[in-house]
Amino acid sequence: MLTELDFLDVVRLTPLVSIDLIATDVHGRILVGQRRNRPARGTWFVPGGRVQKDETLDHAFTRIVESELGISGMERSAARFYGVFEHNYPDDNFAGEPGVSTHYVVLAYAMTMTGSAPIGRFDQHSRYEWLTPDQLLARRDVHENTKAYCR
């Protein structure tokens, strides 16, 4: 486990690899949460998380779906690979350290949520909403990186 100072060095020197979850409901609405943490604090964003060192993408996907959406045991093959995206935060990082940017290489996966899943991890997001793509694109408080999934 990295210390906060070691992780800040990682953020300063390398891109991070993450998985974003474009979760839609049966009505085509997309799940977004209002971020509590940096980067992008206060904006609405799709759920997701970082891939850990030596973790396979399959394991990372299953872990992130469970921690972000409350769904246990979902396999990556059950979702549709949506593409590779880059998220750059030139003046923002988890520690609020001046002059340190954050760069993510994001693997986005789309999935349709059926039934009622216990969605929500409130240490990462203060609340959640389901938005249509048009609603998502029209709102100023939805982060541009999330809007990219609807364009």
- pLDDT tens-digit series, residues 110-149: 999 886 655 666 677 788 999 999 999 999 999 999 999 9
User: How confident is the model at residue 134, as a pLDDT?
Assistant: 97
Give 1's pLDDT tier (boundaries 50, 70, 90): confident
What average pLDDT does the chain have? 92
Give the DSSP letter string of 55-118: --HHHHHHHHHHHHH--TT--GGGSEEEEEEEEEETT--TT--TT--EEEEEEEEEEE--S---
Architecture of the structural domain at 12-148: Alpha-Beta Complex (3.90)
Residue 57: both structure tokens together = 């993408």
pLDDT at residue 70, rounded to an integer: 86
Does residue 55 have a known ligand-binding role?
A: no
66 belongs to an annotated ligand binding site:
no
Residues 6 or more apart from 139 whose CB is under 8 A from it?
A: 44, 131
Picking from 13-22, 41-50, 65-74, 117-126, which range would have the lowest pLDDT averaged per residue? 117-126
For 145, the enclosing helix (H) or strand (E) is helix 144-147
**Given this model, what pLDDT does residue 117 score?**
56
For 40-50, what is the mean pLDDT?
Answer: 95
Are 77 and 52 spatial neighbours (Cβ–Cβ below 8 Å)? no
- pLDDT for 83 equals 98
Residues 77 and 147: their CA atoms lie apart, in Å, by 24
Note the pLDDT of residue 137: 98
Closest CA to 107 of 76, 78, 82: 82
Q: d(Cα 23, Cα 142) in Å, to the nearest integer? A: 15
Q: Is 68 annotated as a binding residue?
A: yes
Q: In the chain, where are the structural domains located?
A: 12-148
Predicted confidence (pLDDT) per residue in 75-109, tens digit: 999 999 999 999 999 989 999 999 999 999 999 99
DSSP 8-class letter at 126 = E
DSSP H or E stretch at residue 34: strand 30-35
